[in-house]
Amino acid sequence: MAPRILLARHGQTEWSLSGKHTGRTDIPLLDEGRRGAKLLGERLHRAPYDGLPGVEVRTSPLSRARETCELAGFGDRAAEWDALMEFDYGAYDGLTPADIQAIRPGWFIWRDGVPDGETLAQVSARADEVIDWARGADRDVLVFAHGHILRAIGARWLGYDISFASRIRLNPTSLSVLGWAYGEPALESWNETGHLGG
């Protein structure tokens, strides 16, 4: 079996709800985010996933991802990994895109990056590190992380430049699966949120 990566984005936080870039600031889950994490866990413990026996689990060490992992029922199997931390937004951490546009008209994160934070090349290299790890053994992996790093992983899995991540949005508490089609890397599913209802 060729390895797949299952990507779980953390639950809703105050900053994700308001559209603020949330990088290394450790914002906790809202009650809505905790509820979503439990629903995600219920989905992963039903068919076709059936609790993912044998899967290797890793999580960002930031509390919003770690708590999502725990509430989904995978905390006892998860190892924390700094490679899964969110994009370091530097001076733009805590700002909305509108706030940044007021400072820097025409700004686009996937082209222009951020001041005093990570470069796009550094984020891309972290995404590649996750992919290399996932492809390094004959088993599926499940990761709990953040919107922009997971989008970067999706872009790089497909062999695209990190800028492709702008075209594959992710909602809080979504589930995505990166797999294979005809021997080539493919999106099996992306940004699924049916487990959240409504």
Residue 197: its pLDDT value, please? 87
Looking up residue 60, the CATH number of its domain turns out to be 3.40.50.1240
Annotated binding site for substrate: 22-23, 64
Residue-level length of the chain:
198
Exposed (0-12), middle (13-18) or buried (19+): which is 96, by Cβ within 10 Å?
middle
Annotated binding site: 22-23, 64
Residue 2: its pLDDT value, please? 72
Asked if 10 and 173 touch (Cβ cutoff 8 Å), the reply is yes
Residue 1: its pLDDT value, please? 52
**What are the phi and psi torsion angles at 162 (to 5°)?**
-55, -25
| Number of domains, the chain | 1
Say what the pTM is. 0.96
CA separation for the pair 183, 52 (Å, rounded): 23
Residue 60: its pLDDT value, please? 98
CA separation for the pair 102, 100 (Å, rounded): 5
> Which positions are annotated as active-site residues?
10, 86
CA separation for the pair 121, 114 (Å, rounded): 12
Residues of the chain short of pLDDT 70, as ranges, are 1, 198
Residue 143: its pLDDT value, please? 98
Residue 47: its pLDDT value, please? 94
Residue 65: its pLDDT value, please? 98
Model confidence pLDDT, tens digit, residues 57-112: 999 999 999 999 999 999 999 999 999 999 999 999 999 999 999 999 999 999 99
Structure tokens belonging to residue 192? 């699924």
Q: CA 7 → CA 18, 105, 167, distances in Å? A: 23, 32, 17
Which distant-in-sequence residues (6+ apart) come within 8 Å of 139 by Cβ?
A: 1, 3, 54, 55, 56
Q: What is the extent of the structural domain holding 133?
A: 5-196
Residue 39: its pLDDT value, please? 97
**What are the phi and psi torsion angles at 42 (to 5°)?**
-60, -40
